[in-house]
């Protein structure tokens, strides 16, 4: 599976999880009840176990990394990641370099496969369907579907021609997405601990590594997580100072 498709699926799943958490409005009991020996959550929580990120959050809860601020670590981390990876400054910079958060070639190809199931089931040619434009509602619907298929077929080569090759520029865009994850997690860490991750913080680095693997999979050489954390902390402090002024 391509990296961009994997990332989109994970983000979509996290977004659904976040929407469900908002709907349920469960009051987190971490720090306000005796700690549980296992499970990685409080008495009100059924800890998710889908991703490596979930497992790392559970370990941090069990080890006392998040002692209780009235906030559920799973919800806080999920909300920060969703925001950072859909609307963070690094993501906008990556898009400006030609890196799409959603790969249009993948999405259009998938849409065409589904549309063609409909058009081929009619056993009619495109010319036959186009002649239905002024007939009953069912015929008009087939005409619109066929028109959409034609429009997507025309758009596909245009998107393919604009997708960048894997150069140093695209690698830079990939680094920006990792930086977006680091910035999101630094914000979540501050909410959950009331502190910023210090230099060589092994617990935060393990969380960042787990999030990176969950979102992007293994990609050969491990990114410099310490550098990404340092930059994220600097941006956090600058942003906080700007808001306070």
**Model confidence pLDDT, tens digit, residues 19-34:** 887 776 777 777 667 6
**pLDDT 10s digits, 62-99:** 888 887 677 888 889 999 998 888 776 655 455 544 44
Please state the φ and ψ torsions of residue 73, each to the nearest 5 degrees: -55, -40
pLDDT of residue 220: 67
Instruction: Give the mean pLDDT of 228-233.
Output: 92
Q: Give the up-direction half-sphere exposure of residue 84: CA atoms within 13 A in the CB hemisphere.
A: 24
Asked if residues 99 and 169 have their Cβ atoms less than 8 Å apart, the reply is: no
pTM given for the model:
0.62
Q: Name residue, tokens 């498709």.
A: 5
Q: How far apart are CA 129 and CA 118, in angstroms?
A: 12
Terminal alpha carbon distance of the chain: 46
Instruction: Give the mean pLDDT of 42-68.
Output: 83
What is residue 219's three-state secondary structure?
coil
Residue 190: pLDDT band by 50, 70, 90 thresholds?
very high
* Residue 220 CB coordination number (10 Å): 5
pLDDT of residue 103: 66
Q: How far apart are CA 19 and CA 7, in angstroms?
A: 18
Q: What is the DSSP letter of 198?
A: P
Asked if residues 177 and 85 have their Cβ atoms less than 8 Å apart, the reply is: yes
Max CA separation in the chain (angstroms): 72
What residue segments make up the domains of the chain, in order of their start?
A: 3-96+167-244, 104-162
- Sign, CA dihedral 186-14-221-55, equals positive
pLDDT of residue 2: 44
Asked if residues 10 and 214 have their Cβ atoms less than 8 Å apart, the reply is: yes
Q: How far apart are CA 165 and CA 163, in angstroms?
A: 7
Question: Which region among 15-29, 72-86, 111-125, 192-206 has the lowest average model confidence (pLDDT)?
Answer: 15-29
């Amino acid at each position: 599976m391509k990296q961009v498709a994997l990332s989109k699926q994970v983000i979509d799943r996290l977004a659904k999880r976040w929407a469900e958490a908002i709907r349920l409005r469960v009051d987190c009991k971490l720090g306000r009840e005796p700690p549980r020996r296992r499970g990685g959550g409080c008495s009100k929580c059924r800890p998710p176990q889908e991703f490596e990120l979930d497992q790392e959050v559970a370990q941090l809860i069990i080890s006392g990394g998040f002692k209780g601020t009235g906030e559920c670590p799973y919800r806080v981390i999920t909300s920060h990641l969703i925001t950072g990876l859909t609307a963070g400054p690094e993501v906008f910079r990556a898009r400006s370099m030609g890196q799409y958060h959603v790969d249009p070639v993948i999405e259009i190809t998938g849409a065409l496969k589904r549309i063609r199931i409909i058009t081929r089931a009619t056993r009619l040619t495109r010319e036959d369907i186009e002649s239905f434009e002024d007939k009953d509602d069912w015929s008009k619907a087939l005409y619109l579907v066929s028109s959409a298929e034609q429009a997507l077929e025309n758009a596909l080569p245009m998107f393919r021609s604009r997708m960048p090759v894997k150069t140093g520029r695209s690698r830079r865009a990939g680094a920006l997405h990792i930086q977006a994850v680091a910035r999101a997690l630094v914000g979540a860490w501050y909410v959950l601990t009331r502190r910023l991750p210090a230099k060589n913080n092994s617990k935060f680095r393990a969380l960042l590594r787990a999030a990176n693997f969950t979102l992007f999979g293994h990609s050969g050489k491990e990114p410099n997580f310490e550098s990404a954390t340092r930059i994220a902390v600097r941006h956090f402090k600058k942003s906080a100072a700007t808001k306070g002024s």
